[in-house]
């Protein structure tokens, strides 16, 4: 024997009601359903509350609202019931709506809406829907009767959220059904007191009604139909990756529903739990799906947790003071004074020091709770033994639920790492000794971000998603996008890493898409984007508040690096090949690296020096392992490397520079490379990474070019001046060659100083091994003193630089849970 319950969306339209009838009469259910519980039509209860409040305020628009309500139900009758069977239903609707309007006229006359009257007004939704649906069944050929639950469900008189009385309710249901053999279509949500006053079981109480009827008749199963396929691992409106849970224990369901799981009303499972009756959550609009089974004994989850839920809006009240420490009965007084005011406490946490207690309540109860505490502890507060209660609002609770948690070490660590890694501050924590639930109080603004971060950590089978925001789609940024597009599937399939491009911008346009932007189509999509505004780009990235976000700057501009600290402070990692931040003011460099280190928010800039070569990471590793770098020598400019590697006298120096420009090795104005400023910035970054606190103006740069070349007004004029200097360069080359040496422009970092100069290198020098545009870094340290460490390879070029940036983005993914 089954009891079925259909929620508001499941009776929200004629087509939905047809689906309801079809389910009850299909092969799976035919002959097995004893009773169907229905809610009011979708949104009707809200409308009833609204019209009641309008009446209380003296707004006569409630009469128009009653007429609209009547029309909606009559339209449903016309759509579902043959005309010859409609008269009795129409008459019932007329009578009920006239009665409703009469009640509302009374409310308007006295200008007061009591909880008792509001319960009576709200009851009309279920009374209308159940009567109509019973007639729909009868007109379809299946005998069915309307059951007004007020006849059988007895409650106390706590109007608005009445408690049903099982010792009186169960016998009444059993007796009623003994004399009514037809299929019963019962009103959910409502009951009555012993003296016949209409009560409601609280919002969502139709679920409880189904459990009450199921428990009364000893149903084999209770099926609750809604508009989703069952209980999901999290709220799909907030967590797009949420998926259906096959089965769940009563205890787990209670925990999830208490903390906001929308498909189940919190008290629903209690009557079924007491009778050991399974509950199944199913989808009216996808009846082939078996939904989620709630039972005493269910297979263990394949995941360490069963689900993640949240309560969106709570207030936290904190009371503290030395007068609490070691005082017996303090907690009893505290919670007794709240109980007297009928204030429900959602969560409690107390430090072992006994110096403070905090607890969560609904925001509407916060002020009353604080007043009750002040009244109870008036003397203690007056004498300073305890502080006046403090209220914190705009908070949410996130709850991680699962029976396997008690046998799986590291669950709490995984939860808090996921939150901390995403910059989500935890205001309070609670975990019961059963280890079934870990709850954290956080800012309401972080609710969705927290749910997604924790959900990814536990349910995505190791898949780690980085939500990427990229500024700069030029040579390096464009190459990076090509590499991401090419490698996406391999990363996801083989390495369980997903790069989800959420926002992208160039100097003119920007574009955002929460579903992800195809990296292979960025250039054409940007043409349809909105005008680029860096402030707006960063603000939108922050306000989206996505978990596991990362910001990548592939520009060479100054404006973007100026925002790095702000971005890091929003718990968003930064990846960049842009040298401006780390070669700028020393204080800013320390602010960035210090904040990253202290807060654990990655700031990755490997490609600021030597493109994709692992120079900075190697320096970090040496320092971490206790080694000390004594001297660092390097060729840091791919352009200068190419020029001097090929300066063998076969062509004049000026011709070699022209050749480098034609190959794309130099900037449009080669002086931007030959002035060695770029190499100097890289040297400064390396010096700082080695622990030297120096500013850019402390880096000594021996000039390569004569002053006349630097002063030339145009590029053409520069080359004319450079040709005049060819003999000087050739003379210096020949002098070095006569000693078996060659010219190389080398940076030396030693004894707290950094210097760049054109040196004559002997044949055995590692700098003579360079080819084309290679970079090289030679590290002499305590451990590498006899034979220095050499890092050598391509130090420039879009492919290797973008590849290094890509590697840093993947490195961020690896820091995720």
CA–CA–CA angle 493, 495, 496 (5° rounding): 70
Reduced to 3 states (helix: H, G, I; strand: E, B; else coil), residue 256 is: helix
CA–CA–CA angle 48, 53, 59 (5° rounding): 110
Indicate the Cα dihedral angle 130, 136, 142, 145, nearest 10°.
30
Reduced to 3 states (helix: H, G, I; strand: E, B; else coil), residue 25 is: helix
- Catalytic status, residue 682: yes
Contacts of 214 (CB under 8 A, 6+ apart): 3, 221, 222, 271, 272, 275, 277, 279
Q: Please, are residues 246 and 294 in contact by the beta-carbon 8 Å criterion?
A: no
Query: Strand 774-781's sheet: what is its strand order?
Result: 699-701, 753-761, 742-750, 629-635, 774-781, 789-794
From the candidates 682, 724, 753, 792, give the one annotated as an active-site residue. 682
Q: How many Å separate Cα 135 from the centre of its chain? A: 46
Q: What is the 3-state secondary structure (H, E, C) of 51-89?
A: HHHHHHCCCCHHHHHHHHHHHHHHHHHHHHCCHHHCHHH
Pick the closest to residue 454 from 304, 248, 572 (CA basis).
304
Residue with tokens 């807060």: 599
Pick the closest to residue 678 from 634, 632, 636 (CA basis).
636
Query: Strand 347-350's sheet: what is its strand order?
Result: 347-350, 356-361, 307-320, 390-401, 437-443, 426-431
Handedness of CA 504, 510, 513, 519 (dihedral sign): negative
Q: Please, are residues 567 and 765 in contact by the beta-carbon 8 Å criterion?
A: no
Other C-beta atoms closer than 10 Å to the C-beta of 672 total 12
Pick the closest to residue 602 from 456, 410, 425, 807 (CA basis).
807
Q: Which two tokens stand for residue 222?
A: 């209770």
Pick the closest to residue 394 from 443, 456, 359 (CA basis).
443
Q: Please, are residues 362 and 347 in contact by the beta-carbon 8 Å criterion?
A: no
Pick the closest to residue 779 from 770, 768, 767, 788 (CA basis).
788
Rounded Cα distance between 398 and 299, Å, is 25
Dihedral pair phi/psi, residue 20, rounded to 5°: -60, -50
Q: Please, are residues 245 and 307 in contact by the beta-carbon 8 Å criterion?
A: yes
Other C-beta atoms closer than 10 Å to the C-beta of 322 total 14
Q: How many Å separate Cα 649 from the centre of its chain? A: 62
To which H or E segment does residue 316 belong?
A: strand 307-320
Rounded Cα distance between 23 and 147, Å, is 20
Beta strands in 762-806 (DSSP E): 774-781, 789-794
Reduced to 3 states (helix: H, G, I; strand: E, B; else coil), residue 273 is: helix
Distances (CA, A) of 433 to 251, 356, 430, 577, 609: 14, 20, 10, 49, 52
- Burial label for 116, CB within 10 Å (0-12, 13-18, 19+), is middle
CA–CA–CA angle 727, 731, 736 (5° rounding): 150
Rounded Cα distance between 642 and 774, Å, is 7
The catalytic residues are 682
């Amino acid at each position: 024997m089954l009891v079925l319950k259909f929620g508001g969306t499941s009776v929200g339209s004629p087509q939905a009601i047809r689906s309801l009838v079809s389910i009850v009469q299909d092969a799976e259910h035919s002959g097995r359903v004893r009773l169907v519980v229905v809610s009011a039509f979708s949104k009707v209860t809200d409308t009833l509350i609204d019209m009641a409040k309008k009446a209380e305020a003296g707004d006569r628009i409630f009469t128009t609202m009653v007429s609209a309500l009547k029309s909606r139900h009559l339209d449903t009758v016309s759509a579902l019931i043959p005309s010859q069977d409609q008269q009795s239903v129409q008459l019932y609707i007329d009578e009920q709506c006239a009665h409703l309007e009469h009640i509302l006229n009374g409310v308007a006359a006295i200008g007061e809406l009591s909880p008792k009257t509001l319960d009576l007004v709200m009851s009309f939704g279920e009374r209308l829907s159940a009567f109509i649906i019973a007639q729909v069944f009868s007109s379809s050929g299946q005998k069915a009767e309307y059951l007004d639950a007020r006849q059988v469900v007895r409650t106390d008189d706590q109007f608005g959220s009445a408690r049903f009385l099982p010792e009186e309710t169960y016998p009444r249901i059993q007796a009623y059904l003994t004399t009514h053999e037809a299929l019963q279509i019962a009103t959910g949500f409502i009951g009555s007191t012993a003296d016949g006053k209409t009560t409601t079981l609280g919002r969502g109480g139709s679920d409880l009604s189904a459990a009450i009827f199921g428990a009364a008749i000893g149903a084999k199963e209770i099926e609750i139909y809604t508009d989703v396929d069952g209980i999901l691992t999290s709220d799909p409106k907030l967590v797009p990756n949420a998926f259906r849970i096959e089965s769940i224990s009563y205890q787990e369901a209670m925990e999830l529903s208490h903390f906001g799981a929308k498909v189940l009303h919190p008290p629903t499972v209690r009557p079924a739990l007491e009778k050991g009756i399974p509950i199944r959550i199913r989808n009216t609009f996808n009846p082939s799906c078996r939904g989620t089974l709630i039972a005493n004994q269910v297979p263990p989850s394949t995941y360490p947790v069963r689900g993640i839920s949240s309560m969106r809006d709570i207030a936290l009240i904190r009371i503290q003071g030395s007068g609490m420490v070691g005082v017996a009965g303090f907690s009893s007084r505290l919670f007794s004074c709240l109980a007297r005011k009928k204030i429900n406490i959602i969560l409690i946490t107390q430090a072992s020091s006994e110096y403070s207690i905090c607890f969560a309540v609904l925001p509407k109860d916060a002020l009353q709770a604080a007043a009750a505490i002040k009244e109870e502890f008036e003397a203690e507060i007056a004498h300073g033994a305890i502080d006046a209660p403090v209220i914190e609002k705009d908070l949410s609770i996130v709850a991680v639920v699962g029976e396997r948690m008690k046998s799986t070490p590291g669950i709490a660590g995984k939860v808090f790492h996921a939150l901390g890694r995403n910059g989500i501050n935890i205001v309070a924590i609670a975990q019961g000794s059963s280890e079934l639930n870990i709850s954290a109080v956080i800012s309401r603004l972080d609710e969705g971000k927290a749910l997604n971060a924790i959900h990814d950590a536990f349910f995505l089978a190791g898949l780690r998603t980085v939500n990427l925001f990229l500024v700069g789609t030029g040579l390096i940024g464009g190459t990076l996008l090509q590499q991401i597009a090419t490698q996406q599937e391999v990363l996801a399939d083989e390495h369980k890493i997903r790069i989800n491009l959420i926002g992208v911008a160039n100097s003119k346009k920007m574009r955002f898409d929460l579903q992800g932007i195809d990296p292979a189509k960025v250039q054409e999509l940007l043409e349809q984007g909105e005008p680029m505004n860096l402030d707006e780009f960063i603000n939108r990235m922050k306000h989206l508040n996505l978990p596991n976000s990362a910001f990548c700057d592939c520009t060479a501009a100054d404006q973007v690096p100026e925002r790095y600290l702000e971005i890091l402070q929003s718990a968003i990692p930064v990846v960049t090949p842009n040298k401006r931040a780390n070669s700028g003011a020393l204080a800013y460099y320390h602010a960035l690296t210090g904040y990253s280190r202290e807060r654990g928010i990655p700031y990755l800039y490997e490609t600021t020096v030597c493109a994709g070569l692992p120079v900075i990471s190697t320096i970090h590793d040496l320092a971490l392992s206790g080694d000390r770098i004594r001297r660092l020598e390097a060729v840091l400019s791919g352009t200068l490397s190419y020029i001097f590697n090929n300066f063998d006298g076969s062509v004049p120096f000026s011709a070699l520079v022209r050749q480098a420009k034609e190959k794309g090795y130099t900037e449009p104005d080669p002086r931007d490379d030959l002035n060695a400023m770029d190499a100097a910035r890289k040297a400064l970054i390396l010096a700082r990474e080695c622990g030297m606190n120096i500013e850019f103006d402390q880096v000594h740069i021996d000039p390569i070019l004569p002053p006349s070349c630097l002063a030339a007004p145009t590029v053409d004029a520069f080359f004319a001046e450079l040709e005049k200097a060819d003999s000087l360069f050739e003379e210096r080359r020949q002098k070095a060659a006569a000693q078996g040496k060659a010219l190389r422009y080398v940076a030396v970092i030693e004894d707290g100083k950094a210097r760049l100069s054109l040196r004559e290198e002997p044949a055995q020098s590692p700098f003579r091994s360079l080819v084309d545009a290679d970079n090289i870094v030679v590290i002499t340290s305590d451990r590498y003193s006899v034979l220095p460490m050499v890092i050598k390879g391509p130090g420039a070029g879009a492919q290797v630089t973008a590849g290094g940036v890509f590697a840093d983005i993947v490195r961020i993914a690896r820091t995720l849970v």
